[in-house]
Structure 1
Amino acid sequence: MLSERMRNVLIVVPMLALLALLSACGGGGGSPGTPGPAPTPPAATTGNLAVVASGLPAGATPSIRVTGPNNYQQDLTGSQTLANLAAGTYSVAAAPVTVGRVVYSPSPATQSAVVTAGGTVSASVSYGSVDVNIALSEVVANLDNPTWLTAPTGDTRLFVLERPGRVRIVENGSTLAIPFLDIGARVFTGGEGGLLSMAFDPQFASNGYFYLYYTDQQQNIVIERFTAGSNPNLADPTSGLVILRVAHPNFTNHFGGQVTFGPDGYLYLGTGDGGGAGDPSGNGQNLNALLGKLLRIDVRGAAPGQPYAIPAGNPYANQPGRRAEIWASGLRNPWRFSFDGSQLYLSDVGQDRREEVNVQGADAAGLNYGWNTMEGTLCYNAATCDRTGLTLPVFEYDHGANDANGCSITGGFVYRGSAIPGLAGRYFYSDYCRGYLKSFLASGGNITEQRDWDIGAIGNVVSFGRDGQGELYLLSSRGSVHKIVRAAP
């Protein structure tokens, strides 16, 4: 038998040989060799945009929208760095902000910022204050139920409609003795009927055309074109061409009343649902009826044999059982609507509870505004209150107890005049029952800067008007016309 010492020697020798072999092969210690090059980090593909807003009082928030590549859109209410943006050009658009009676205007209102991969670019918006006070200045009084005021672009005259059928001219504060046009013999004035609105052709300066919306002696809604005469203050009463006649036989309310040209050059008109309460004939949801609709027609080639054509893009053209003139449906009594650039502001008078304003893109075809399934955002026909496919208003107000907030909205215009820059972009409206003047700012589907302008009592506000310079007016049932002006400090 081997001794203990010999056994240990026999174990250690093979282990030393194994360690020597591993060392020769580079394992288990020794020099690690020369290291290879460090890996290259991946190239940056995105960048950052730092938006800095200043100039607003404590507690006020800016209104900034950033848009860019790949349909990027982000609304900001304060200074913020937007990270990981795709490289490209971004637009930074800031809207005015009202705090109390002071409007803070952004500078610049719009700017571009180029985001580069791996970099950070800054965009600064500085707000400055403009104290806005407005008042009403009476322009003319003692008119016979004024319903509408308009003028050709750039014209200093005011064309004011009187419900019995006269178009009057107000020039330098005086109403001319002879009406521009008098069609009283053919106008029905019962209920809500009468001469209700007027639109000058976009080419009025060269063709002299203008269009009237009125109710005839059979209670039909009529759109008729006339031509200005050789005397610029007198129209040719024999030049009438009926463009469209819509039967309205059963009731003397809900005639609608607005005719205007859209930014696309087509003629739009808003018809009521035929009257009564609750749309008893179901016209609002009937696409084979012209009542309770916003209609769009092409009158550029109007002639006795073919007074209008159907514009390409009308949503129900060439569809059996649907009227090709319809642009939008589901309206109760769209007394007033207006365009502001690419936006449509459409107010619709409610039944018993809600008054509404719909703000949509001017090119949005085939919208259904919900009546008589809905009254604003409230279910009206509760048994079938299915909102599928309906476009609900972006702004509404409840009548309140005893109509404390109003009972019948009088829609107006977005201010784009030059006399009061701080009002730019605000939509003005009133209510027939309360006679107030209010406004709001619509941006990105949101309603902000709601304001009551505290103008005092001027009676029932029947309509707004806009002159050839873009300034706004209110027409009162008392027979007066008031202009919105800048008030003394």
Structure 2
Amino acid sequence: MRHILSRFPRPWLALLLACCLALLAACGGGDDDDPAPGPTTGSLMVSIGGLPAGVAGAVTVTGPASYSKTLTASATLTDLAPGAYTLNAASVTQGTGPLAPTPVTQQVQVNAGATASASVLYAAATTLTLGLQEVASGLSVPIFLTAPPGDSRLFILERAGRIRVVQNGTLLATPFLDISTLTTTSGERGLLSMAFHPQYASNGYFFLYYTNLTGDIVIERRQVSAGNANMADPLSALTILTIPHPTFSNHYGGLLSFGPDGYLYAGTGDGGAAGDPPRNAQNTNVLLGKLLRLDVNASTVAQPYAIPPGNPFATAGGAGGRPEIWAYGLRNPWRYAFDVPAQLLYIADVGQANLEEVDVRPVGQAGNNYGWNIMEGTQCYNSASCNQAGLVLPAITYNNDTANGCSITGGYVYRGAALPELAGQYLYSDYCSAWLKSFSYSNGTASAVKDWGITNVGNILSFGQDAQNELYMLSGTGKVYKIVRK
């Protein structure tokens, strides 16, 4: 080698050595290879114990990238994106009674290249008896109750147009907002609900659903006062949407709620009268008898809302229909609720005369036709037979004659901490009979309908839910009750 190199002039020799060194560096320094890329996903081993043979559990796992999966038995979930995963376990029913899970809710961190673990143990539930604890009185037709995320206050809507605040157990004398000059309580009109923006703590936005003086539906954005957390800014109104509601003063629906996708949903009635004579509920070119879905996260006067991707009629000429519509075929939804852990949507729809119903579908399922006025509940409406193709049938119904009812009042799936035996059960009532009932829903089937023996509380106007997911019943007597252990 030395003999060969000696033939090269010194400048050329230096250049040759530099090239050799550069070649070795580019090759990684000889025999060392680049390290193989590390794993990018992890696993979660979920152990579900305490269940008798043949009894399925109900554990819903949610996590990053909208991950959601319901387990009925022990399993290992693989290919999971790293991050925090939440397990929500619901009570299940056995022949001898309910089985309650422990813990009801837990969070587990999944790391790339590792397997995390979590366990849920079912055991015979202690006998749960429910009662009502009065939290407010002297209200004028309390029609709705809600709270901002993470807030300890209760916001109670009076149908005549006032929003009252309960703070530290005291009903404040000064309303949070008073729009009584903008609405009327004729028929079923009035201030019907409100929804706090998911980022209310930072942006102060909340949304109203009310009827104006001509009877049309108004969805409006407002903002809290800059200097007083218990007072709204009276000059902050921005109209999001006005929906014509001509001729009749009933069937307004009336619930606003933000879904787990961050979009604003609104349930509208069919326009009133009996039987929906204009067939509004089945007409996808009008917004009555619908569940609407709007993007209000960047609302301006010029563009009050946008159409979220995934709305079934979002593309012009695609399927024919208004792009705001998420679902249709509703008579008078009073009320609906999202159960985020199970990724289910519950809609309580008031019947015409015979059947009251609760519909349950996956949260992300667009374009559902809930059947009105082709059907009332599970029965063909005004005909011996009807074409039921493509219609969503109710999860449960009840007959007004046998249940002493007249109009369903929909509630929520219980996800609070105070009553773990009630976890996963949907609570509902009836305006006339005022009973409190619940049922469980899993694997596409409703079961374990239970009457909780609640009586003598007046007409039940609505349910409410606070920021801790505890539930309330609002009575026509002007009182608000919290559902508690008796």
Q: Give the TM-score of the pair, scaled to structure 2.
A: 0.78
Which residue of structure 2 lines up, in the alignment, with residue 358 of structure 1? 359
CA distance in 2, matches of 1:340, 1:66: 13
CA contact (8 A) 2:293 2:311 kept: yes
Relative to 1, partners in 2 of residues 1:308 and 1:124: Cα closer, same or farther, differing over 3 Å? closer
| Alignment match of 1:105 (pick from 77, 89, 100) | 100
| RMSD of Structure 2 on Structure 1 (CA) | 3.1
1:189, CA displacement in angstroms? Answer: 1.3
Q: Does 1:388 align with 2:389?
A: yes
CA distance in 1, matches of 2:475, 2:428: 13
Which residue of structure 2 lines up, in the alignment, with residue 432 of structure 1? 431
CA distance in 1, matches of 2:98, 2:385: 45
CA contact (8 A) 2:414 2:471 kept: yes
For 2:234, what is the secondary structure of its paired residue?
A: strand
Cα deviations by residue, 1:382-409 (Å, 9 ceiling, x for unpaired): 27711011111111111125xx431100
For 1:400, what is the secondary structure of its paired residue?
A: helix
Cα deviations by residue, 1:14-35 (Å, 9 ceiling, x for unpaired): xxxxxxxxxxxxxxxxxxxxxx
Q: Does 1:153 align with 2:149?
A: yes
CA contact (8 A) 2:55 2:94 kept: no
Q: Does 1:62 align with 2:58?
A: no
CA contact (8 A) 1:409 1:432 kept: yes
For 1:196, what is the secondary structure of its paired residue?
A: strand
1:449, CA displacement in angstroms? Answer: 1.8
CA contact (8 A) 1:53 1:62 kept: no
Which residue of structure 1 lines up, in the alignment, with residue 313 of structure 2? 316
1:303, CA displacement in angstroms? Answer: 0.5
Which residue of structure 1 lines up, in the alignment, with residue 274 of structure 2? 277
- Extract unaligned runs of 5+ from structure 2: 1-46, 61-68, 80-86, 107-118
Relative to 1, partners in 2 of residues 1:170 and 1:75: Cα closer, same or farther, differing over 3 Å? closer
Q: Does 1:325 align with 2:318?
A: no
Letter in 1 for 2:477: R
CA distance in 1, matches of 2:221, 2:289: 22
Cα deviations by residue, 1:112-147 (Å, 9 ceiling, x for unpaired): xxxxxxxxxxx9965243331221001111100100
CA distance in 1, matches of 2:348, 2:145: 18
Q: Does 1:247 align with 2:244?
A: yes
Which residue of structure 1 lines up, in the alignment, with residue 215 of structure 2? 219
What does 1:158-197 correspond to in 2, within 5 Å?
158-197=154-193
Q: Does 1:206 align with 2:202?
A: yes
What does 1:466-477 correspond to in 2, within 5 Å?
466-477=465-476
Cα deviations by residue, 1:179-230 (Å, 9 ceiling, x for unpaired): 0000000012110000000100011000000001000001000001110002
1:93, CA displacement in angstroms? Answer: 10
Cα deviations by residue, 1:45-95 (Å, 9 ceiling, x for unpaired): xxxxxx997577xxx97333799xxxx99978xxxxx9xx9x9979x9975
CA distance in 2, matches of 1:239, 1:93: 39
CA contact (8 A) 1:410 1:430 kept: yes
For 2:202, what is the secondary structure of its paired residue?
A: helix
Q: Does 1:339 align with 2:332?
A: no
Relative to 1, partners in 2 of residues 1:328 and 1:125: Cα closer, same or farther, differing over 3 Å? same
Letter in 1 for 2:249: T
Relative to 1, partners in 2 of residues 1:108 and 1:253: Cα closer, same or farther, differing over 3 Å? closer
CA distance in 2, matches of 1:145, 1:101: 41
Number of aligned positions between the proteins: 410
Report which of the two structures shows the higher radius of gyration computed on alpha carbons.
1
CA distance in 2, matches of 1:285, 1:365: 15
1:450, CA displacement in angstroms? Answer: 1.1
Relative to 1, partners in 2 of residues 1:416 and 1:110: Cα closer, same or farther, differing over 3 Å? closer
1:103, CA displacement in angstroms? Answer: 4.0
For 2:358, what is the secondary structure of its paired residue?
A: strand
CA contact (8 A) 1:397 1:405 kept: no
CA distance in 1, matches of 2:450, 2:59: 26
CA distance in 2, matches of 1:168, 1:73: 39
| Alignment match of 2:303 (pick from 293, 306, 312) | 306
Relative to 1, partners in 2 of residues 1:255 and 1:417: Cα closer, same or farther, differing over 3 Å? same
Q: Give the TM-score of the pair, scaled to structure 1.
A: 0.78
Letter in 2 for 1:63: A
CA distance in 2, matches of 1:243, 1:99: 48
CA distance in 2, matches of 1:169, 1:448: 37
CA contact (8 A) 1:271 1:291 kept: yes
Letter in 1 for 2:435: Y
What does 1:254-293 correspond to in 2, within 5 Å?
254-293=251-290
What does 1:6-21 correspond to in 2, within 5 Å?
none
CA contact (8 A) 2:104 2:423 kept: no
1:153, CA displacement in angstroms? Answer: 1.8
Letter in 2 for 1:105: A
